[in-house]
Amino acid sequence: MTKPKLSQEQIDEIIVEYTTIEVNLVDIARKYNVSNWIIKSVLKKNNIKIIPHSFKNRIKYPYNEKFFLSETEKSAYFFGFMLGDGCLYINKERNMYEFTICLSKKDKHVLEYFCDWTNRSYDAIKYSNKINRVSLDFRGASLCKNNDFKKWGFVPNKTYNPVIPTIIDPKILKPFIIGLLDADGHISYGEKNNKNIIEFICNSIIVNWFVETIKNLGFRGKINYRYFKGKCYSSVSITKKQDIIDLCKILNIENYDFIFDRKWNDIKTTLKNGKYKTNNKLKFNKETVDEIINLYKSKKFSTYKLAKMYKTSRNVISKMLRGKYFSQSEYSLLHEQFKTEIIKVTNNKISNEQCEEIRKIIINKEKTIVSLSKEYNVSKTTITDIKYFRGAYKKVA
């Protein structure tokens, strides 16, 4: 098989195209239907320096590198997000850097924000249909001389060798923390969600810095800690509604239109409407409480099912059953009456003749223990005791 040859005109065109830095080596090889090695040999024979492929890609979709040297709200959010979900690689031999970030396709708008802020084309965003992900990278050489990004805590291998951010200005800190929460945080708030929470999980050093920082900014709410044995990471969470609102007011989330809507939208609406507190004690009236108690008495619904059905907590349901939801004696008396009914049922004595009947039915497998307990109005444990001659139904010598 003969190798394809390039004419002198084609070689001249290749040199012009490559030196103008409009296309990379791979694109040229595809255009002329030859291998990358043939293009490389042509360039070397003409004493043209081979530019790294990654650097040629950067030129193909150029961007404003000054953005990374600035200290603005947008750059702070960017580096906060990169500290959570980004990756930094530095090639010391070539003195080049590379930022890479990979997200789910539903969060593609974040990468579009980054492209807008750096004056870059959306074509730089790469798609992977197999894993349903999108990615974006920034490559260059000049920033390694000017900035090592340690002030943002953004370093290579940041998961296992973290560096504490050194930024102090509150105007920069707030969007930086929001970016960090958007990347590595879990936020759930509102009536539609079963649990209200702001949770942050990261390397323990960064988590401790996060807690100290929000306290310095004025947060005084309760913070829950969670540690993982033998792991370098840990998590903190804020679960009280008022504490979540207080933190969001401190971070001024209403001032930023580029943060995740799916995470912050419900809290933004709450702040806009001015409704910060809820009172669960006024949520249910007497009729609803009676209905819940009757459903529980029917033995068809547990406290868990009732809590899910009425969109409340099990603690609220148990308060109703204990008579503490309303401070009235009628509900406590009702529950006490219900308890005594259960005791009467479970302590119901079975005669010796009935015991013999039950044993015969079980031996002949005519009925199950469950059906027998309903028929004789006793518990399943009592039927089992009768079957094996246990407890009050032992054999008399």
Residue 242 lies in a domain: yes
Per the structure, the complete domain to which residue 100 belongs is given by 59-75+85-156
Q: What is the reported pLDDT for 377?
A: 82
* Domain co-membership, 107 together with 149: yes
Q: For residues 111 and 130, which has the higher predicted lDDT (pLDDT)?
A: 111
Task: Indicate the residue among 225, 248, 273 that finishes a domain.
Answer: 273
- Whether the pLDDT of residue 144 is over 80: the answer is no
Q: What is the reported pLDDT for 263?
A: 86
* Domain co-membership, 97 together with 151: yes
Residue 164 lies in a domain: no
* Domain co-membership, 193 together with 264: yes
pLDDT in tens, 285-319: 778 888 888 888 887 788 888 888 888 888 788 87
pLDDT, mean of residues 131-160: 76
**Alpha-carbon distances, residue 378 vs 321, 370, 374 (angstroms):** 23, 10, 7
- Whether the pLDDT of residue 140 is over 90: the answer is no
Q: What is the reported pLDDT for 60?
A: 66
Q: State the total domains in the chain.
A: 5
Q: For residues 92 and 237, which has the higher predicted lDDT (pLDDT)?
A: 237
pLDDT, mean of residues 222-246: 89
* Domain co-membership, 284 together with 328: yes
* Domain co-membership, 238 together with 182: yes
Question: Residue 53 — very low, low, confident or very high, per pLDDT cuts 50/70/90?
Answer: low
* Domain co-membership, 190 together with 267: yes
Q: What is the reported pLDDT for 180?
A: 93
Residue 2 lies in a domain: no
Task: Indicate the residue among 102, 126, 156 that finishes a domain.
Answer: 156
Q: What is the reported pLDDT for 332?
A: 43
Q: What is the reported pLDDT for 338?
A: 45
- Whether the pLDDT of residue 382 is over 90: the answer is no
- Whether the pLDDT of residue 321 is over 50: the answer is yes
Across the chain, mean pLDDT equals 79
Q: What is the reported pLDDT for 57?
A: 54
- Whether the pLDDT of residue 329 is over 70: the answer is no
Q: For residues 320 and 301, what is the distance between their CA atoms, to the nearest angstrom?
A: 14
- Quote the pTM value: 0.59
* Domain co-membership, 314 together with 250: no
* Domain co-membership, 64 together with 128: yes
Task: Indicate the residue among 250, 273, 296 that finishes a domain.
Answer: 273
Residue 293 lies in a domain: yes
- Whether the pLDDT of residue 372 is over 80: the answer is yes
Q: What is the reported pLDDT for 20?
A: 61
Q: What is the CATH number of the domain that holds 269?
A: 3.10.28.10
Residue 165 lies in a domain: no
Residue 3 lies in a domain: no
* Least confident piece of the model among 59-68, 257-266, 307-316, 374-383: 59-68
- Whether the pLDDT of residue 176 is over 90: the answer is yes
Residue 206 lies in a domain: yes
- Whether the pLDDT of residue 61 is over 90: the answer is no
Residue 146 lies in a domain: yes
